[in-house]
Each structure stands twice: as structure tokens, then as C-alpha cells.
């Protein structure tokens, strides 16, 4: 399959690497010049569970993608939430009526942005429990195991969705066709809503956050707030199952050593975060539905305060 990764940061590099290793025709698109240049000159380097792998994968800056004329079967969107609109604007030249676009970003509401650029028949929504971190230009650290879920938003997109599930599984990405992707998106939003802001403010990885005496109460309260709001949108979250799902990530032999992407952004790189698309989105919806979401609100405020203190950009 001919696949373009739109946003070849930590996760885009991981997926690009695994899909390329499985024999797909992959291209990477990213605006970070040093990163693209390093991949062009030295290949994409990954430390995969301690072992170094290098793959030569074509990499492009967005300004150069307009010169690219091969038909792309699938675009995988992997920017941060606040970068999605700009990315879609810069890749319109590679989107044909036969191009399927899969969104794997964390957070809520991305379909509204994508619908401005892509026909509904061509949109797939998904999410992933894989993790990754960039260690420098052209270098990605990938450890632990994960999974992917995806689904078409229009019945006409189902064949493309099922084909992509197969391509992902051939690449070892452990992918499942979701029968209810909006539920899956809210379930993953609960993972990020309980772990990303908290680990960022506490300067902790997932396992450390999981080890405190107050963690259980924090995650239950946040998940309850998500569930109250989701219910207003017709999505009935199984809170107990989701609490256990979040706790399953604490295992230090699994992905417990992962520092969430929000931590990587704000604490390590002084970048603005996706908090407004996770806990912040739940607060905003809560205001509309007149549901109090005090833990989500406080966490959103703390993360924004930290962004200010660190002069995040
Ligand atoms: P990242 O910041 O490492 O990568 C995003 C990349 O997109 C960057 O390299 C950036 O240069 C590029 N980009 C942004 N706007 C662009 C534009 N207009 N044109 C070209 N390139 C552009 O982010 P990430 O950690 O890979 O996360 C991507 C998404 O996946 C986020 O929604 C995140 O929450 C989610 N996620 C991350 C992890 C993780 O472990 N890192 C795990 C699961 C999900
Ligand atoms: C994560 N991490 O989604 C993934 O870093 O944004 C992130 C992220 C799977 C399980 C637990 C955390």
C-alpha cells in the first residue's frame, strides 16, 4: 500500500518505520527541517526495544509535497491536535478521490476539522495504544507493545477500513476494526485525560503516577466526569472497565516507563500541549450541557499555568 505519514514525529516515525519494514511504500511528511534532512541523509533510525534499526524512507517538507505526483492510497494523520488544520491545508495536493485519510491523534472532535478537507466516504477515525518518543532529528525510541482501532465514518469507507486493518496487522501493529469508534475514542480520551496532564504536572512517568495512594481516586473522578459528559452525546462509558484499562498501563514491564506525549511536549521541549482537546474539551462540553467537571477544569488550568511558567510555544 502507498502510505503517506502526515506528521512524522514520534508516532508518525514509529508507524512509518513499522509499515515500511512490512514492505509498504511509505513516505514521511514533516515540517521540522533538521528531522527531514537527517532522514534523507541517514535514513530513519529507531531504537526498538533496545535494538537499532535504520530504514531508508523518503521524507518531505510540506512545501515539497506539491511536486509529488504518485497516487497515495492512505494518509495517516499524526500531528498534534492544534497542528491538524495546517497539516491538512498543506497536503491537499496529495488527496485524490481515492485517498483514504486515517486520523490517529489523541483527543476529541478531530472529525470536524477533517471534514473541511476530505469527503466523509474517505475518512477513517482511529486511535492507538502504541507509544513513542523522538530522541533527536531522525531518531525515534519505540518500546513496549500497543494496539490500534479504526473505523470508517461513512458506510462507503468500510472496504478501505478493512483493508487498512489487514495492512496494519501485517506490520505487527495489532489492529482491530472497531464497531463503535466514537466509544473507542472516548475510552482512549479517558486514558489521556487521566495520565497526560497528571504525569506532566507531577513530573512522573505512567508507572510512578500509578504508584501513589491517591491515584485511584484521581482517575476514577476524571473518568466519571468524562462519562457524565459522554452520556449527553449518547455514549455510555463503562467506567469500571475504563479504570482497569488505565491501570493496565502502569505495568513497568509494559509501557509504565512511558512519559506521555504531553510531558514530552511541555516539560522536555517547552511546547504548548493538547490539554484543550482532552480534559479541556470535556470542560467545554460540560459547560454546554451544564455538567460540573471540576477535576478536568483544575487539571486544564494547571497545565495552562505550567505552559505560561515555561513560556511554552
Ligand atoms: P510529535 O510532536 O512528536 O509529532 C508531530 C509531528 O508533526 C512533528 O514532528 C511536527 O513537526 C509535525 N507537524 C506538525 N504540524 C505540521 C505541518 N503543518 N506540516 C508538517 N508537519 C507538521 O507528536 P507525537 O507524540 O507523535 O503525537 C502525535 C499524536 O499522537 C498526538 O495527538 C498524540 O497525542 C498522539 N499519541 C502520542 C503518543 C506518544 O507516545 N507520543 C501515543 C499515542 C498517541
Ligand atoms: C499512552 N500515551 O497516548 C498510550 O503519550 O499521548 C500519549 C499517549 C497508550 C497507553 C498509555 C499512554
Q: pLDDT tens across 169-222, in order?
A: 999 999 999 999 999 999 999 999 999 999 999 999 999 999 999 999 999 999
What is the best residue among 78, 108, 131 to mutate for testing ligand 2's pocket, by most ligand atoms within 8 Å of CB?
131
Given this model, what pLDDT does residue 143 score? 86
Among 136, 157, 179, identify where a domain stops: 179
Report the nearest-CA residue for atom 4 of ligand 2: 129
Kindly state whether residues 173 and 186 are assigned to the same domain. no
Instruction: Give the pLDDT score at 50.
Output: 86
Domain assignment of residue 187, given as a range: 182-309
Q: Is the CB of 128 under 6 A from ligand 1?
A: yes
Question: What band does 164 get if pLDDT is binned at 50, 70 and 90?
Answer: very high
Ligand 1 atom at minimum distance from 261 CA: 41
Confidence of residue 27 (pLDDT cuts 50, 70, 90): very high
Residue-wise pLDDT for 101-131, tens only, equals 999 999 999 999 999 999 999 999 999 999 9
When pLDDT is cut at 50, 70 and 90, the band that residue 49 belongs to is confident
Measure Cα distances from 79 to 28, 33, 117, 246 in Å. Answer: 12, 15, 16, 23
Whether residues 16 and 165 share a domain: the answer is yes
Which DSSP letter does residue 7 get? S
110 and 205 share one domain: no
Helix and strand tally (H, E) in the chain? 13, 12
CB atoms within 10 A of CB 107: 25
Cα separation of 223 and 108, whole Å? 15
CATH number for the domain that contains residue 284: 1.10.1040.10
Beta strands in 17-117 (DSSP E): 25-29, 44-48, 51-55, 59-60, 74-77, 100-103
Ligand 1 pocket mutation, candidates 32, 77, 83, 272, criterion most atoms within 8 A of CB = 83
Number of domains composing the chain: 2
3-class state of residue 132 by DSSP: coil
For residues 114 and 88, is the Cβ–Cβ distance under 8 A?
yes
Cα–Cα nearest to 167, from 21, 19, 17, 13: 19
Q: Which atom of ligand 2 is nearest to the CA of 263?
A: 5
Q: Which atom of ligand 2 is nearest to the CA of 146?
A: 9
Does pLDDT of 234 surpass 90? Answer: yes
User: What is the average pLDDT value for the chain, to the nearest integer?
Assistant: 97
SS3 172: coil
User: Rounded to an integer, what distance in angstroms lies between the CA atom of residue 304 and that of residue 301?
Assistant: 5
Q: Identify the band that residue 225 occupies on the pLDDT scale cut at 50, 70 and 90.
A: very high
Question: Across residues 15-24, what is the average pLDDT?
Answer: 98
Report the separation in Å between the CA atom of 2 and the middle of ligand 1, taken as the mean of its atom positions: 20
Q: Any idea what DSSP says for residue 258? A: P
- Neighbouring CB atoms inside 10 A of 121's CB total 15
- State the closest ligand 1 atom to the C-alpha of 196, by its place in the atom list counted from 1: 34
The predicted structure's pLDDT at residue 222: 99
Query: Are residue 202 and residue 279 in the same domain, yes or no?
Result: yes
Last residue in a domain, options 150, 179, 208: 179
Q: What is the mean pLDDT of residues 89-99?
A: 97
What does residue 263 show for φ and ψ, rounded to 5 degrees? -65, -45
pLDDT, tens digit (0-9, with 9 covering 90-100), for 270-293: 999 999 999 999 999 999 999 999
Runs of H (alpha helix) within the chain: 10-21, 33-42, 84-90, 110-114, 158-170, 181-202, 206-210, 215-232, 239-247, 261-263, 269, 279-289, 294-309
Q: What is the pTM assigned to this prediction?
A: 0.97
Are residue 26 and residue 129 in the same domain, yes or no?
yes
Which residues lie with the beta carbon below 6 Å from any ligand 2 atom?
A: 106, 129, 131, 191-192, 195-196, 249, 255, 258, 260-261
CB 99 within 8 A of CB 72: yes
What is the whole-number distance in angstroms between the Cα of residue 30 and the centre of ligand 1? 10
Q: Check pocket membership of 148 for ligand 1, CB cut-off 6 A.
A: no
Shared-domain flag, residues 226 and 200: yes
Q: Domain check: are 291 and 167 in the same one?
A: no
Q: What's the CA-to-centroid distance between 171 and ligand 2, angstroms? A: 20
Which of the following is catalytic: 45, 115, 120, 188? 188
Neighbour tally for 208: CB within 10 Å: 17
Q: What would the mean pLDDT of 252-279 be, rounded to a whole number?
A: 96
* Final residue belonging to a domain, choices 179, 212, 239: 179
How far is 150 from 163, CA to CA, in rounded Å? 11
To the query of whether residue 188 is one of the catalytic residues in this protein, the response is: yes
Residue 14 CA, ligand 1 centroid: distance in Å: 11
Paired sense of beta strands 51-55 and 44-48, if any: antiparallel
Residue nearest to ligand 2 atom 3, measured at CA: 192
Does the CA dihedral 193-201-32-84 come out positive or negative?
Answer: positive
The verdict on 170 and 187 lying in the same domain is: no
CA of 70 to the centre of ligand 2 (A): 33
Amino acid at each position: 500500500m502507498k502510505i503517506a505519514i502526515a506528521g512524522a514525529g514520534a508516532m508518525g516515525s514509529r508507524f512509518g518505520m513499522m509499515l515500511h519494514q512490512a514492505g509498504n511504500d511509505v513516505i514521511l511528511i514533516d515540517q521540522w527541517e533538521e528531522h527531514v534532512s537527517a532522514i534523507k541523509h541517514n535514513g530513519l533510525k529507531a531504537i526498538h526495544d533496545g535494538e537499532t534499526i535504520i530504514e531508508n524512507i523518503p521524507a518531505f517538507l510540506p512545501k515539497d509535497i506539491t511536486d509529488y505526483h504518485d497516487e497515495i492510497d492512505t494518509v495517516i494523520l499524526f500531528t498534534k491536535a492544534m497542528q491538524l488544520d495546517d497539516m491538512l491545508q498543506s497536503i491537499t495536493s496529495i488527496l485524490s478521490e481515492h485517498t483514504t485519510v486515517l486520523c490517529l491523534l489523541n483527543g476529541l472532535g478531530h472529525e470536524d476539522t477533517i471534514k473541511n478537507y476530505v469527503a466523509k466516504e474517505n475518512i477513517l477515525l482511529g486511535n492507538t495504544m502504541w507509544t513513542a518518543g523522538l530522541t533527536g532529528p531522525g531518531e525515534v525510541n519505540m518500546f513496549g507493545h500497543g494496539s490500534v482501532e479504526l473505523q470508517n465514518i461513512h458506510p462507503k469507507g468500510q472496504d478501505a477500513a478493512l483493508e487498512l486493518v489487514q495492512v496494519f496487522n501485517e506490520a505487527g501493529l495489532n489492529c482491530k476494526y472497531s464497531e463503535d469508534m466514537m466509544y473507542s475514542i472516548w475510552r482512549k480520551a479517558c486514558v489521556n485525560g487521566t495520565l497526560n496532564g497528571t504525569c506532566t504536572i507531577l513530573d512522573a512517568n505512567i508507572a510512578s503516577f500509578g504508584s501513589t495512594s491517591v491515584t485511584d481516586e484521581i482517575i476514577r473522578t476524571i473518568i466519571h466526569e468524562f462519562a457524565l459528559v459522554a452520556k449527553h452525546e449518547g455514549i455510555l462509558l463503562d467506567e469500571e472497565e475504563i479504570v482497569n484499562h488505565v491501570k493496565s498501563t502502569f505495568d513497568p514491564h509494559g509501557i509504565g516507563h512511558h512519559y506521555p506525549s504531553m510531558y514530552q511536549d511541555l516539560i522536555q521541549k517547552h511546547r504548548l500541549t493538547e490539554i484543550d482537546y482532552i480534559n479541556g474539551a470535556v470542560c467545554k462540553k460540560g459547560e454546554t450541557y451544564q455538567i460540573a467537571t471540576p477535576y478536568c477544569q483544575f487539571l486544564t488550568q494547571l497545565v495552562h499555568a505550567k505552559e505560561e511558567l515555561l513560556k511554552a510555544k
